[in-house]
Amino acid sequence: MTDPTGETPRALARSLGLSVDAAVDGLSAPVVQALALAAAVGLFWVVCASYGLGGGPYPDEGEEPAFDLPPLDEQVPAQRLTEWMRVQNHTAKITGRHERNLNPLIVDYGDHRVLEFAWWWLHLGNQPAKFAAFNSRAEALTSTWRPGLAQRGLAPATWYVEKGHSFGLGGQAFALAAITTTARQPDGSDLLTYSIVTREAIGVAARTHPRMPLIVPRELQGHWLHPGVPGDSQLIADVLAASDELSAQVERIDSPKDAASSFPALF
C-alpha cells in the first residue's frame, strides 16, 4: 500500500522521524502522519504497538501456554485461537484498512463470554478514529474515551513489545484491558473494534517506557468484562489498584537486538 506520493507507509513513517517495521505496513498514510504529529507534540506516548500469544522468547520450542481464561478453555474457541496464532505468527498487529488483520478479543454479552476477532484501532461513527486510537490512557477513559467504556474487552497475551524490548510474565498468559466500539459496515454487518488500555509503568517496565498495558488480574476480569458494571472512575480505580502486583512482576525477556528482530513494534 502506498500514499498518493508513492511512498509506502513504512517509508513515510521513517521520513517523519518514526522508527518502524512491518507493523505499520497496513496503515494508511493519514494515520501514519497523525501518529507522528501526536507523538511529536506530546499528545500521547506510543506504547504496546505489538503483543502476542505464544511463540517468541518463551515458552520453550514446541510448548504453548495454557489459555485457561474463559472461553479460551473451551474446545471451539481454543481451536479458533490456535488457528489465529498459526496464520498470524502469534502476533497481534494494528489493523490496516487494506490488510484487515483482526485480533482475538474476549467480550461478555451479559450471559456468556465470547471470543471475537476485532479491529485494533477504535472506530467512532463507524469509521476508524482520526487520532491515534490503538492505545487509550486509563486516566482519560471517562473523558476522552467514554464511547468505548460501555462494552469492555480483554486481549489475551503472553508478551508485548515496547521500544525494541519484549515483556511478559514468565510465559504465563495474561489479559490486557481493552475498550471497544461496534462499527456498522457498508454491507450491514457489525465489526468489533478496540483500543488497548495503558497505565503508568512500574517495576522493570518503567525503565524502558513511562507507560505499559493495563493487565487485569483474574479476580477482576469478570467485573471488567460484564456490561452491567458501569464504566466509571470507580471501576478504573479498582482495576488500576488491583493491577499493581502483576504489573510489578512483568519482566523484560529478551535483549534489544533479539526483540527488534523477532517482533514487530511500531515505535
Q: What are phi and psi of 107, to 5 degrees?
A: -130, 160
- Report pLDDT for 133: 92
- Segment 7-62, tens digit of pLDDT: 444 444 443 334 344 344 445 555 555 554 444 333 344 456 789 988 765 555 55
- Report pLDDT for 4: 35
Pairing of strands 135-137, 190-200: parallel
pTM above 0.85, yes or no: no
Which three cell numbers, joined as nine digits, stand for 71?
472461553
- Segment 41-53, tens digit of pLDDT: 333 444 567 899 8
Q: 226 and 110 in contact (C-beta within 8 Å)?
A: yes
Classify residue 119 by its DSSP letter.
Answer: E
Residues 6+ apart with CB under 8 A from 44: 38, 132, 135, 137
Residue scoring higher pLDDT (18 or 182): 182
In angstroms, rounded to a whole number, what is the distance separating the alpha carbons of residues 183 and 115? 17
- The gap from C-alpha 220 to its chain's centroid, in whole angstroms, comes to 19
Which three cell numbers, joined as nine digits, stand for 192?
468489533
Segment 70-77 shows an average pLDDT of: 91
In angstroms, rounded to a whole number, what is the distance separating the alpha carbons of residues 118 and 99? 13
